[in-house]
Amino acid sequence: MPRVVPSEQLSKLLATLHEAATACHTCSLAETLAKRDYAIIRVLSATGIRVAELCELSVVDYLETESALRVFGKGSRERLAMLTMEEDRECLIDYLAERYRLEPKSDHLFLNGRGTALSTEGVRGVLRKAAAAADLPCHVTPHMLRHTAATCLLEHGADLRVVQTYLGHASVRSTERYTHVSNAHLRNVLERCHPLRNAA
């Protein structure tokens, strides 16, 4: 079972990426890549999409009026990945405004420095570099971000069927493996909801 990224470490990771994306205004390739990296990690963290799904996204798959990404998952099943926070949308728009600096040779949304589609290994490299810059104590993978997003939804009361749709699972059985509950969360819930807490 993949591990989750603790919330304080995820916040630190995103803060480090945000700082790099907004640090300079040189209109350089490095600045564009920093904006791309921030958008990638925010999208993965916010939507729980698979890294392969992220890499297959096209520019036209960003549906600005719906604040969503059109994702084609396993078996070519289509779903919408909602971008519900303003910061998620803003960082994507900021990257798109500068994407042309990468001299695109592809319609893929996320490009490498040569203007071609960013690979799944390229995304993992972005995450490794970002985690090192944030001085995180643990290794972070794209699937850990997916697992973290799903776990967060479940721990905050999301219905299993909602999480199934969110993750793009054909069967709810695939989603059920995300229903593990951390010991800390279990203890917290039990302390608040103990059946004898309000007993006379």
**Pick the residue with more confidence: 158 or 60?**
60
CATH 1.10.443.10 fits 7-145, yes or no: yes
Interval 75-115: pLDDT, tens: 778 999 999 999 999 999 999 999 999 999 999 999 999 99
Domain parsing of the chain, residue ranges: 7-145
Tell me: pLDDT of 182 over 70. Answer: no
Could you tell me the pTM of the whole model? 0.86
CB 51 within 8 A of CB 40: no
**What SS3 class is residue 136?**
coil
Catalytic residues: 50, 74, 143, 146, 169, 178
Q: What is the DSSP string of 59-125?
A: GGGEEGGGTEEEEE-GGG-EEEEE--SHHHHHHHHHHHHHGGGG--SS-BSSB-TTSSBPPHHHHHH
What's the chain's average pLDDT?
Answer: 89
Tell me: pLDDT of 22 over 80. Answer: yes
CB 30 within 8 A of CB 52: no
Smallest CA-to-CA distance from 150 within 123, 169, 170, 136 is with 169
- 138 pLDDT band (50/70/90 cuts)? confident
Smallest CA-to-CA distance from 139 within 11, 13, 1 is with 13
